[in-house]
Amino acid sequence: MDEYFERRRRMVEKLKEELNISDRVAEAMLKVPRHLFVPPEYRREAYNDYPLPIGYDQTISAPHMVAIMCELLDLKEGMKVLEIGTGSGYHAAVVAELVGKRGKVITVERIPELAKRAEKTLKELGYDNVIVVVGDGSEGYEKEAPYDRIYVTATAPDVPPPLIEQLKEGGKMVIPIGNFSQYLYLIEKKKGKIEKRNMGPVRFVPLIGKFGFKD
């Protein structure tokens, strides 16, 4: 484990240098063992800054993208957060560190096998403040709404209306939008209206679902 910690430390230091990420995000990423969220054959690559396959044509996002999204969300202790696209569960673990034990992360995954594996890893690592739900993420998860923050780890044709409805007044959402050309957007809900800011080009797998792309 010492070997992996040293690799993780170097990864975080690189992100601090290149992206000037905050101490809070850096500390959260230093705590989460990314190598335990990837298939065993990719563990040696876990702390390199690029996506890795996790099965079912899905990937674990590159560390720099996780850091960028966490910074844009401006996560605080005690917040309730909705994640769309659990994948391996890594991003949810980083967010769980940032919202703390008083906070809560609900994460929705459409592929049952990935959801089961992520839930197992998260529980084994003690992330009791993360709830994994199997379902259509493009519809959000109304049962726990409203949310202080929402983020989507797959690209959508547009912002799914249910996610706007489930976002608290004053809340923030980060979501990639587009098909061949994709851009990351920061969405803010102010007085019932939505403000969108383009944060630059990205590359994500498609969001499949009622308000996403068709399978």
CATH code given to domain 63-202? 3.40.50.150
The answer to whether residue 61 is catalytic is yes
- Convert the pLDDT of each residue in 37-58 to its tens digit: 999 999 999 999 999 999 998 9
Q: Locate tokens 């890594």: which residue? A: 90
pLDDT at 191 over 90: no
The active-site residue, picked from 61, 88, 138, 181, is 61
Q: ∠ at Cα 50 (107, 121), nearest 5°?
A: 35
Mean pLDDT of the chain: 95
SS3 36: helix
Give the pair of three-digit tokens for residue 212: 């996403």
d(C-alpha 114, C-alpha 189), whole Å: 31
- Looking at residue 1, its pLDDT comes to 55
pLDDT at 3 over 90: no
Asked if residues 50 and 62 have their Cβ atoms less than 8 Å apart, the reply is yes
d(C-alpha 13, C-alpha 18), whole Å: 9
- Looking at residue 80, its pLDDT comes to 98
Spans of all domains in the chain: 63-202
- Convert the pLDDT of each residue in 10-20 to its tens digit: 999 999 999 98
d(C-alpha 140, C-alpha 152), whole Å: 10
* Range list of H helices, the chain: 2-19, 23-31, 63-73, 90-99, 112-124, 161-166
